[in-house]
């Protein structure tokens, strides 16, 4: 879709650059502006004349991970939480290289020289990404070695190298090596009879140089550091040594009769994004299983080495791995700091955030009996807007499904699963329901990135229990968060529905901030029932009363509402737009927001991750303000709020403002029913955008700056939740 057509989109228009799947339909009566406002050619031109109006998405992502690193640098945060942010930064950057950098390399190799919306060619993007990421990696290593290690030592937690161990600690390590580590190790030599071994992605390795004392010939060997052992080996008294140090000290055991000359750690990151041709559901399942095996053999995109590495060894690695010098990161060790999660998990509550336990939402709380509340009775009386992790997932969504599985009046359960935990009670409830004879439909998205293996396993388990398992639609990922229970009641069949912004994962529900709506609203239930039929069968329902559904109507519907706010402002009515999302990249939505700003509409965006929009540009986006909140919980909910001439409207749902969400995924936004629920979301946004709330703020040049606010959003919400007990 061109920028021009994006600005003139109205409800009912097709997505020209979307997938080939059939449309999912349009909302029938969502907006109150008649006739709908449509920008004219001059208004469109006023936006499009700004050639540099989009920040590069890859560079914006690096700025996001920089904000994570700044949390690790913040001395006001508890020390073990700072340590955990170092681990999160490392994991984030690994995935960025495996997917985004790998994608840039593919485009360059294929000769696809298409400019990004930012105006950069893939080669320019890659060059700037490497410059930015290298600086961040060096800063990351420096923070760990110069700030975190000394601070931990001051609290009695020590991460030391082998030379710093005393004799007793070395004895402990020697015994561990002999009894457990040595039997697992496999040294792989490189010589005419042994080709250079395959180095698996993200594995930590030792590059070892040994010499034959009889011939004087030097040989290279690789020893993989086993990931099954603790990254940092405990030696007692809260002292730890890197696992590679323990192995490196005992290399003579692996190469008896040889002289060990040098040993250096290195690590390779590979392209691990899946590429699968979809034919039909069963073929897709089998193809994914094969592709997961192939993933380990993707081409390398990054080589990390310790700064002490011998130049000749580095030359060998560069040559054999087929990486360029630009793809080598030379860092102060130790490498692979993802393992710092184990340090952050130490039982030192004095060095962590104060303990927090979610509470049951007041509408679902027990009254005078220890018996759990009847979720169906509570939802039948009034819709429930859940805010996790402040509201307990276990006593709301999980209980909803568990009660449905056990309730003899429940006839059917329909559920989408994108990511779930390994021991999920959600899975158990669905299995119990199927075994009890209920109709259970589960839409499992087996293409959820990096969760494919888990989802294949749970799909098989659900199938064996008698659930109807469907893998979604060809060409589209099913990313929407839906659950529907069909119950036989005295006054007839009633549908109970949960629509959320987060995955049905009880573990991440304690760490991710998300919203969810539990409702017995017949119109919402009717919409969701039609959508499930679209996903599982051949229904071609094309109208929804309260839903926006991608790939067809999310972009169109939101742009139409943005245009409606322009019309309200021009007519002197109350106007305003507030959006909370993980990322905003889609050029059509951004251009619509620019147009609203040029008309004078106030626009506030709370974006955790990538933001390709430039706020505060004179003549383009002077009324747009962008904030980002990172902290104890991962801000994950998506909210779309509009002033609507004094009668605010709000949607929540699964869709971020990115091409993949709007064009290549099944996403759902639900319009919140009733004034009270819209007001609840409005109050949350009021706090988030309050000038005193601490947040990073985005400048027109793409720079994020912490504003120094005294109120911390998540702490304020925790305090509110505690007062509610």
- The catalytic residue positions are 479
Q: Match 């790939």 to its residue by tokens.
A: 551
Nearest of 421, 438, 356, 387 to residue 78 by alpha carbon: 356
Q: Which helix (H) or strand (E) holds 284?
A: helix 281-295
Cβ distance 326 to 485 under 8 Å?
no
- Would you say 134 and 128 are in contact if contact means Cβ atoms under 8 Å apart? no
Which residues does 593 contact at the CB level (< 8 Å), separation at least 6?
562, 577, 603, 605, 613, 621, 624
Angle between helices 425-435 and 399-406 (to 10 degrees): 20
Collect all residues with Cβ–Cβ distance below 8 Å to 131 and sequence separation of at least 6: none
The crossing angle, in degrees rounded to 10, of helices 452-464 and 425-435 is: 20
The helix or strand, by DSSP H or E, that contains position 718, with its residue range, turns out to be helix 713-723
Q: Which contiguous run of DSSP H or E holds residue 713?
A: helix 713-723
User: Are 393 and 510 spatial neighbours (Cβ–Cβ below 8 Å)?
Assistant: yes
Provide the token pair at 606.
């709370």
SS (H, E, C) 108-159: HHCCCCCCCCCCCCHHHHHHHHHHHHHHHHHHHHHHHHHHHHHHHHHCCCEE
Element (H, E) at 400: helix 399-406
Apex 325 CA angle, 322 and 327, nearest 5? 75
Which two structure tokens, joined as six digits, stand for 248? 């490196």
Give rounded-to-5 percent helix, strand, coil for the chain: 40, 20, 40
Question: Are 335 and 94 within 8 A, CB to CB?
Answer: no
User: In 543-623, which residue ranges form alpha helices assigned H by DSSP?
Assistant: 554-570, 587-599
CB-CB contact of 680 with 663 (8 Å): no
DSSP class of residue 333 equals S
- The string of DSSP letters for 648-705 reads -EEEEES--BSHHHHHSEEEEEEEPPSHHHHHHHHHHHHHHT-TTB--EEE-TTS-EE
275: which 2 tokens?
A: 């590429």
Buried-state track 26-36, b at ≥16 Cβ within 10 A, e below 16:
bbeebbebeee
Closest CA to 588 of 662, 667, 669: 662
The encoded tokens of residue 632 equal: 């104890």
521, exposed or middle or buried, with CB in 10 Å at 0-12, 13-18, 19+? buried
CB 418 within 8 A of CB 445: yes
Main-chain dihedrals φ then ψ at residue 430, nearest 5 degrees: -65, -40
Residue 42 makes CB contacts below 8 A (sequence gap 6+) with none
């Amino acid at each position: 879709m061109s920028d021009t057509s994006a600005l003139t989109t109205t409800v009912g228009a097709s997505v020209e650059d979307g997938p080939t799947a059939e449309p999912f339909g349009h909302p029938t009566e969502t907006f109150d502006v008649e006739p709908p406002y449509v920008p004219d050619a001059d208004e469109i031109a006023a936006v499009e004349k700004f050639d540099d109006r989009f920040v590069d998405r890859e560079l914006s992502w690096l700025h996001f991970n920089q904000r994570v690193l700044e949390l690790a640098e913040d001395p006001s945060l508890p020390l073990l939480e700072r340590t955990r942010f170092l681990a999160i930064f490392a994991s984030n950057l690994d995935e960025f290289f495996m997917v985004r950098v790998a994608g840039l390399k593919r485009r360059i190799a294929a000769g696809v020289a298409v400019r990004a919306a930012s105006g950069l060619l893939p080669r320019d993007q890659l060059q700037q990404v490497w410059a930015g990421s290298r600086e961040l990696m060096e800063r990351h290593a420096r923070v760990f070695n110069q700030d975190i290690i000394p601070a931990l030592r001051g609290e009695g937690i020590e991460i030391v190298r082998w030379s710093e161990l005393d004799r007793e600690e070395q004895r402990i390590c020697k015994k561990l090596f002999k009894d457990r580590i040595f039997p697992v190790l496999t040294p792989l030599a490189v010589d005419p009879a042994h080709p250079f071994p395959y180095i698996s992605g993200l594995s930590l390795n030792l590059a070892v140089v040994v010499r034959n004392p009889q011939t004087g010939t030097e040989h290279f060997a690789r020893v993989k550091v086993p990931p099954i052992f603790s990254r940092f080996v405990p030696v007692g008294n809260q002292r730890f040594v890197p696992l590679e140090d323990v192995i490196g000290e005992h290399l003579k055991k692996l190469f008896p009769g040889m002289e060990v000359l040098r040993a250096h750690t290195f690590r390779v990151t590979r392209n691990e994004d899946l590429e699968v041709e979809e034919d039909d559901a069963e073929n897709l399942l089998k193809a994914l299983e094969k592709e997961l095996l192939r993933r380990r053999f993707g081409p390398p995109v990054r080589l990390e080495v310790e700064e002490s590495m011998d130049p000749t060894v580095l030359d060998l690695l560069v040559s054999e791995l087929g990486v360029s010098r630009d793809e080598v990161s030379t860092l102060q060790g130790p490498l692979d700091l993802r393992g710092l999660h184990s340090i952050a998990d130490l039982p030192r509550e004095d060095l962590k955030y104060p303990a927090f336990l979610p509470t049951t939402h007041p509408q679902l709380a027990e009254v005078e009996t220890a018996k759990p509340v009847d979720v169906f009775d509570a939802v039948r009386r009034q819709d429930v807007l859940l805010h996790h992790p402040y509201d307990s997932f276990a006593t709301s969504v999980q209980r909803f499904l568990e009660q449905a599985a056990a309730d003899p009046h429940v006839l059917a359960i329909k559920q989408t699963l994108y990511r779930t935990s390994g021991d999920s009670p959600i899975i158990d409830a669905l299995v119990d329901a199927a075994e009890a004879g209920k109709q259970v439909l589960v839409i499992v998205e087996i293409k959820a990135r990096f969760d494919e293996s888990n989802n294949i396993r749970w799909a098989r388990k659900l199938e064996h229990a008698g659930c109807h398992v469907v893998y979604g639609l060809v060409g589209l990922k099913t990313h929407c968060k839906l659950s529907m229970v069909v119950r036989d009641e005295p006054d007839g069949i009633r549908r109970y529905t949960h629509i959320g912004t987060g995955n049905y994962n009880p573990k991440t529900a304690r760490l991710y901030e998300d919203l969810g709506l539990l409702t017995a609203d017949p119109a919402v239930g009717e919409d969701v029932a039609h959508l499930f039929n679209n996903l599982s069968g051949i229904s071609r329902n094309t109208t929804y009363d309260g839903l926006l559904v991608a790939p067809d109507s999310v972009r169109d519907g939101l742009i139409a509402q943005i245009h409606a706010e322009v019309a309200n402002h021009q007519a002197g009515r109350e106007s305003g737009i507030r959006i909370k999302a993980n990322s905003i990249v889609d050029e059509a939505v951004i251009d619509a927001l620019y147009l609203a700003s040029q008309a004078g509409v106030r626009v506030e965006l709370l974006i955790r991750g990538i933001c390709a929009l430039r706020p505060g540009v004179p003549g383009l986006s002077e009324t747009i303000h962008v904030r980002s909140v990172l902290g104890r919980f991962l801000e994950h909910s998506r909210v779309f709020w509009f002033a609507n001439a004094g009668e605010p409207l709000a949607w929540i749902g699964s869709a971020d403002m990115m091409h993949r969400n709007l064009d290549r995924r099944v996403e759902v936004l639900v319009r919140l029913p009733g004034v009270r629920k819209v007001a609840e979301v409005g109050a949350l946004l009021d706090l988030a955008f309050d000038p005193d709330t601490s947040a990073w703020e985005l400048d027109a040049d793409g720079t994020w700056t912490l504003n120094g606010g005294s109120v911390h959003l998540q702490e304020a919400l925790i305090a509110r939740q505690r007062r509610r007990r």
